[in-house]
Amino acid sequence: MAGVASKAKGVVKLPFGSNMLAVIASVPTLVLNSVSETKFTFNHFETFWFYFSAVPLGTTAKEEMERFWSKNTGSNRPLSPHITIYSWSLPMVMSICHRGTGVALSAGVSLFGLSALLVPGNFESHLELVKSLCLGPALIHTVKFALVFPLMYHTWNGIRHLMWDLGKGLTVSQLYQSGVVVLVLTVLSSVGLAAM
């Protein structure tokens, strides 16, 4: 029977086709006889078979790449996807910004932690340094707003994503409505925290 292992006298024989590959778990000894027949010898171990298709390569990667570029460079068409062919929408931009704020926040927290370890002095000395610069309140509130805005955006948009995980708010109109709600809540909470 094709594709089924046969067992005789402690030897498992597999009829291999050109596109089948067997992976054996818990087999102590492996003896290869030929390309078409593989024997696995074992003592008393349980053998588990996992089959998956392995397509033999007819061409090399370099030949495929050359064929791809020769076909597509002569056609004079734009490469897809191209940034200019997309119509930007609010959910698309908010998704990109959510990823960006996540990266920025994790990098910021990591850099803050490293600076706390490496920079001499303590928090009080750095706070006194900032106070001694006599910066205006408008600049201080602007910097505080710029620091808290990504955190608030990522928080509110993360709650939005959690609602999506529950299967709520997934229609197109609800995506736009929840996006506007997230932006309004982000601005209001950022202004409130920056005013503290």
Q: What is the pLDDT of residues 157-184, one digit of tens each?
A: 999 999 999 999 999 999 999 999 999 9
46 Rama sector, left if φ>0, alpha if ψ -120 to 50, beta otherwise = beta
pLDDT of residue 166: 97
**Fold annotation for 88-194:** 3 helical TM bundles of succinate and fumarate reductases (1.20.1300)
**Amino acid present at 182:** V
Domain residue extents for the chain: 6-53, 88-194
Q: What is the pLDDT of residues 86-136, one digit of tens each?
A: 888 999 999 999 999 999 999 999 999 999 999 999 989 999 998 999 999
Distance CA 145, CA 127 (A): 18
Q: What is the pTM of this model?
A: 0.59
Q: What was the pLDDT predicted at 82?
A: 72
Q: What is the pLDDT of residue 55?
A: 55
In this prediction, residue 50 has a pLDDT band, given cuts at 50, 70 and 90, of low
